Amino acid sequence: MQDTLFLILLILAGAIRAGTPLLFATLGEIFAERAGVLNLGVEGMMIMGALSGFMVTVRTGNAWTGLLAAILVGGAIGLIHAVLAITLRANQVVSGLALTIFGTGLSSFLGQKLVGVPAPDTFGVVRIPVLGDLPVLGPLVFQHDILVYLSFLLAPLAWFLMFKTRPGLHLRAVGESPATADAMGVSVVGLRYLYVFLGGMLAGLGGAYISLALTPGWADGMTAGRGWIAIALVIFATWSPARAMVGAYLFGGVEAAQFRIQGTGTQVPSFFLNMTPYIFTIIVLVIATQETVRRRIGAPAALGLPYEREERG
Amino acid sequence: MKLTLRLERRLTPSRALGFLIPVFSIVLALCFGAVLLAAVGKNPGVVYQKMFSGAFGSKFGLTETVVKAIPLMLSGLGVAVAFRMLLWNIGAEGQLQIGAFAAAGVALAFPQAPAAVIIPAMMLAGFLGGALWASIPATLKAKLQVNEIITSLMLNYVAIYWVEYLVYGPWKNPKGYGFPGTAPFSPAAELPRLGASRVHLGLLFGLVAALCLYFILRRTKWGYEIRVIGENPTAARYAGISLTRNILTVMALSGGLAGLAGMSEVSGIIHALQRGISPGYGYTAIIVAWLAKLNPWAIVVVSFLFAGLLVGGDQLQISMGLPAAMSNILQGAVLFFILGGEILVRHRISLTWEK
């Protein structure tokens, strides 16, 4: 009985860790999509974040500098999409795909010599005094690395910013009705750039979490489709940071359970276990879509549409 | 005084730019690649020369380029027909894998069948396999409005793991010394090749598919409906064109073509089902289709170009130890420049001084 409880606790704590990179990336994409820009390049930004985070950490020996580099690189890659989608009014679906193909290729190219290199510094567990000693809650919530704590703060903060502040109102206006926002004197282009950049930074942070905390090291294609799962989670979360947390940990749970089951020497071939997150994504997406259709909460009205100010005659 | 940049919509899109932009995009992408190569201490001139001569400079290179153009052409045509009606099928990679799996299943189940029976049966199986795999996101999109981008992409991972499961597990060749692959097909199940080269009959599939697609899009009611939905969804709805039916049929055609690409790979090149039958043809096909502006004939041409890029990238890996990912970077960069340049086709840019 004790053992089972312990195992469940272990899986749940693992779910939070595995869900953290998804949470960062999902929050980032929610910001971009709320501003009306669909960025399907999350996978590309994440993998570049994972690579640059690890690469800089290897060079400097300090994981914090690596993290900073990952955030900046993620943001910079996001800006490519911003220029194409916002200024040049390119097709956002194809531009996002280009970002992913480009990021995957570039990370593989630059990371060639990093495969198998051990991480000189990682984000280890920081046990929070007193709270960390609590039964159940301690190991579940208060015995993680510092980036997990950061994500605990970031999700509610994002929610507050989005729904309770004036900048949040402007953000949502830009995504729902850019013409109105423009008339209100809000810079549609400026805000869209800002939030696509922020989205890229958060995706880069999520990527760095994978290469510096979750599974320290670099491996080709190590984000393994998490960027795409994050995009699905945005729909699951109905563009709300609070629900993003639920979704991210749900997927983290699938990943953690899969890892545990693999460790037990089960008869189920690993190929089927490896399929589960992707099949699960499809199932969750179907359910989430039904809910959004039923409750009539859809994507931001101007999502994916470039903004063109009506010319005055 | 302030310098302002204005975009003015052109009354008619510029045809000349429509042609020049893809060309310039490739040049700019190569320049970008050169900067990157110089940054990692390689001489770009030498690298590009190696890539070019690797892909087009010898008879072997040239035929290998044709070999790789076949799956790009078939899946590129599949991607294009879906994109024509703004149906974002990015699952060509998985549809190709399932097509290969279905065709291999037929070949392995009937080792005694003569070529005249087994080849058409494999083609049918490959096409149907890809079509059925694509009908999953299509049905979810048509009936439940589920975003097809994510579902079609997720199914790529599922398809790849499925093939891996088979070739490591129940379908593994018992005489294969542990190599992850099925037993070789019977000679009857191999597509005929051109002389001593590896170029196979799949090339004809690609060309015929381009012809068919051109005909469908230009000359049939179905093609007309696809184009109307793609260019003006609202008008399509008022005209009574069924979106549901077209999503299902177009995705089936799209996936079927990718499935046929998978069939032609296993039947024409590998002669077995293996792990890693595609180095991402399904993703490159998306770039091919977009660069070709979704035009079937242009896809044929661009397929050869990108196949050359893949072969050249492989050459770099062999001769210079540079990762083959170089060709992925160039692919992504080409797409960036094309997307960025497209605005010039529809708009005129003017710089003016304003007081």
- Supply the ipTM of this predicted assembly: 0.90
Measured between beta carbons, the chain A residues lying within 8 angstroms of B34 are: none
Element (H, E) at A206: helix A188-209
A271 to B331: CB separation less than 8 angstroms, yes or no: no
Residue-level pLDDT at B117: 96
DSSP B197: S
- C-alpha to C-alpha distance for B272 and B267, rounded to whole angstroms: 7
Q: Give the helix ranges, DSSP H, for chain B.
A: 15-39, 44-56, 59-84, 92-109, 115-144, 148-168, 202-219, 221-231, 233-238, 243-265, 281-291, 296-320, 325-346
* Cα A256 off chain centre by: 17
Residue-level pLDDT at B262: 98
Query: Average pLDDT of chain B?
Result: 91
Say whether A123 sits in a helix, a strand or coil: coil
Determine the residue among A42, A274, A275 to mutate to test chain B binding: the one whose Cβ has the most chain B Cβ atoms within 10 Å: A275
B339 to A98: CB separation less than 8 angstroms, yes or no: yes
A90 to B323: CB separation less than 8 angstroms, yes or no: no
Element (H, E) at A134: none
CA distance A100 to chain B (A): 8
CA distance A245 to chain B (A): 20
A225 to B154: CB separation less than 8 angstroms, yes or no: yes
Tens digit of pLDDT for each residue in A106-154? 999 999 889 999 989 999 888 888 888 888 888 888 888 999 999 999 9
Closest by Cα among B18, B40, B33, B39 to B309: B33
Determine the residue among B335, B344, B348 to mutate to test chain A binding: the one whose Cβ has the most chain A Cβ atoms within 10 Å: B335
DSSP B193: B
User: Which B residues 208-237 touch A at CB under 8 Å?
Assistant: none
Other Cβ atoms within 10 Å of A311 Cβ, number: 9
Nearest CB to B154; choose among A106, A110, A278: A278
A88 to B154: CB separation less than 8 angstroms, yes or no: no
Element (H, E) at B354: strand B347-354
B275 touches chain A (CB under 8 A): no
3-state secondary structure B219-285: HCHHHHHHHHHHHCHHHHHHCCCCHHHHHHHHHHHHHHHHHHHHHHHHHHHHCCCECCCCCCHHHHH
A286 to B158: CB separation less than 8 angstroms, yes or no: no
Q: Where are the beta strands (DSSP E) in chain A?
A: 125-127, 143-145
Tens digit of pLDDT for each residue in B292-309? 989 999 999 999 999 999
Residue A280 phi, psi dihedral angles, 5° rounding: -60, -40
Give the orientation angle of helix A226-236 with respect to helix A42-60, to 10 degrees. Answer: 130
Print pLDDT tens along chain B (355 aa): 667 767 777 777 777 777 788 888 889 999 999 998 898 888 999 989 988 998 998 999 999 999 999 999 999 999 999 999 999 999 999 999 999 999 999 999 999 999 999 999 999 999 999 999 999 999 999 999 999 999 999 999 999 999 999 999 999 998 888 888 999 999 999 999 988 889 999 999 999 999 999 999 999 999 999 999 998 888 898 988 999 999 999 999 999 999 999 999 999 999 999 998 998 999 999 999 998 989 999 999 999 999 999 999 888 888 888 887 888 888 889 889 988 888 887 777 777 776 6
Say whether B7 sits in a helix, a strand or coil: strand
Which letter, b or e, does each residue of A100-113 get, where b requires 16 or more Cβ atoms within 10 Å of its Cβ?
Answer: bbbbbbbbbbbbee
Angle at B284 between CA B282 and CA B286, to 5 degrees: 80
- C-alpha to C-alpha distance for A25 and A245, rounded to whole angstroms: 11
Determine the residue among A55, A254, A271 to mutate to test chain B binding: the one whose Cβ has the most chain B Cβ atoms within 10 Å: A271
Measured between beta carbons, the chain B residues lying within 8 angstroms of A289 are: 144-147
B187 touches chain A (CB under 8 A): no
- C-alpha to C-alpha distance for A162 and A174, rounded to whole angstroms: 12
Tens digit of pLDDT for each residue in B131-172? 999 999 999 999 999 999 999 999 999 999 999 999 999 999
Q: Give the helix ranges, DSSP H, for B145-201.
A: 148-168
- C-alpha to C-alpha distance for B150 and A24, rounded to whole angstroms: 19
- C-alpha to C-alpha distance for A247 and B141, rounded to whole angstroms: 22
Say whether B347 sits in a helix, a strand or coil: strand
The pTM (predicted TM-score) of the whole model is 0.91
